[in-house]
Amino acid sequence: MADALAICQSELFQGLPCWRLRLPQGDTVLVAEHGAHVLSWVAAGRERLFLSGHSHFNGRDAIRGGVPVCWPQFNARGALPKHGFARNLPWVADVPPVLTADSAEASLSLRSGPDTMAVWPQAFDARVCVALSPGCLRVTLGVDNSGTQPLAFTGALHTYLAVDDVAQARLTGLGGQPEWDALSDTHGTAADTLYFPGSFDRVYHAAAAPLTLHDGVQRLAIEQSADWAHSVVWTPGAANAAGMADMAPGSHQRMLCVEAAQVFEPISVPAHGQWQGWQQFNVR
């Protein structure tokens, strides 16, 4: 008897059109068409992503949690709205999923049009590919410059990881990397082990080897392609989280963002050129 294949099916989540990939062994991932936003990744029987129960699921605003696609601008470093427009727009699943017995892959696309050209006069074809295999998730952002002028952008895969208690979690693998502390606006060198007793917001030069998130007995390996120059580590802390309308009280204790990012120097894609960068997670 042939092995069962993975499944890709459409469903609604909080009223948003989504696609769910499911492997025969049980791992799943849920991706919303709004923002090409990964909302859930269940691996080894556990939810691995944090999603705020107070998020706005109205098809206009950004969603708090999961994997927001921040593009074509990181944070407020430019003339666009914070983190760009990609996470606020509908993407289209216009390529058939690729399904096997132990893997599933789905892609969504966003192309330049009147709405994007009004705020960012660049011709582009962006795509997000979500690839699921047992204990592993890879999210890839690809950008094609469909115009005649160079295309420059910053951005991030702004991944919110679920943790039991962020104050007890630790992250290893960035030791020795250049570090910018956004809270104190100071530069330094990363410690071998990062701890999160309160608010934490730092940008690192990306490490070549995988990072490891230690969350109690749980271990998660975190990798990113060299196409992203930086890794961002962020958790708001109690005081900052209290001012976020889309965060439930105390929920900041259950999340840590580890992002593949381009923060300082923009990526430049020549006319008719292509770029892609990925972030990958493996349960250990």
Question: Hey, what amino acid is at 7?
Answer: I
Paired sense of beta strands 98-99 and 218-224, if any: unpaired
- Which pair of structure tokens corresponds to residue 119? 């705020």
Order of strands, sheet of 193-195, starting from the edge strand that comes earlier in the sequence: 98-99, 104-111, 124-133, 136-145, 274-283, 218-224, 211-215, 170-172, 193-195
Active centre residues (catalytic): 158, 259
Does residue 85 contact residue 70 with C-beta atoms inside 8 Å? no
145-181 b/e (C-beta count within 10 Å ≥ 16 → b):
beeeeebebbbbbbbbbbbeebeebbbebbeebebbe
